[in-house]
Amino acid sequence: MRVLLDIGHKYQNDIRNKGILYKGVYEADLVEEYYHKLQEKIIQSGEEIVTIKTDKNILNCSYEDRIKWANNNNIDLYISGHIKFNSNESDIVYCGGKKNFKIANLLKNIINQDKYIAVGKVVDIIKLSKNYDDYVPLDKLKCQNILFRPAFIDENKNGLLIIDKFFSDVVNILFEFITKIREEKYERN
């Protein structure tokens, strides 16, 4: 199984769009960090999953070109990664079609488990439209795809910063998601 971990806002032609700035750190850099930890976890697990993360060499281009690249390079699953601040609700955005709705629902059920305390719950699954503020042209993709915007809860009830827990929750959520898609004998288009 080949998974493209696309870092939202990073390495695009338009470098003005770096996503949200949080305490001096750009969204894209935080997404890159959770993807990096996810890749380490996948390697340690020994699962037959190949991840390709947006990088300086092959995927420093527009979202359209990344999508073309994915269509030409046998990608099975495309995850557009973001982070949502100032909210208690995570977003899952899918583009039309049963298969993407199915995996969106799977991801929702994983996120909403009680053990993931540092990531906001998902209330609705959002259908992709050009009005969405983190629009990525996912509708051009042949493979299954999803836009994931986990809500970062800055402090828990006791006022403690839980950023480490947020990262480990996001990594575990994505790991569970990817391995479940693989177990369910995911078939490539």
Under the rule (CB under 5 A), what is the footprint of Zn ion? 8, 19, 82, 134
Q: How near is the Cβ of 159 to Zn ion at its closest, in Å?
A: 27
Residues in the chain: 189
Q: How near is the Cβ of 149 to Zn ion at its closest, in Å?
A: 6
β 89-94/121-127 pair status: parallel
Whose Cβ is closer to Zn ion: residue 32's or residue 134's? 134
Whose Cβ is closer to Zn ion: residue 49's or residue 166's? 166
Tokens of 11: 């390495």
CB atoms within 10 A of CB 154: 15
Between CA 95 and CA 101 the distance in angstroms is 8
Q: Which residue is nearest to Zn ion (CB)?
A: 82
Whose Cβ is closer to Zn ion: residue 76's or residue 94's? 94
Whose Cβ is closer to Zn ion: residue 13's or residue 73's? 13
Whose Cβ is closer to Zn ion: residue 152's or residue 177's? 152
Q: How near is the Cβ of 99 to Zn ion at its closest, in Å?
A: 24
Q: How near is the Cβ of 183 to Zn ion at its closest, in Å?
A: 29
Q: How near is the Cβ of 174 to Zn ion at its closest, in Å?
A: 16
CB contact set of 16 (below 8 Å; sequence gap of 6+): none
Q: Are 120 and 84 in contact, with CB atoms under 8 Å apart?
A: yes
Between CA 103 and CA 35 the distance in angstroms is 19
Tokens of 184: 């369910």
Q: How near is the Cβ of 4 to Zn ion at its closest, in Å?
A: 17
Whose Cβ is closer to Zn ion: residue 114's or residue 133's? 133
CB atoms within 10 A of CB 31: 27
Tokens of 59: 């995927």
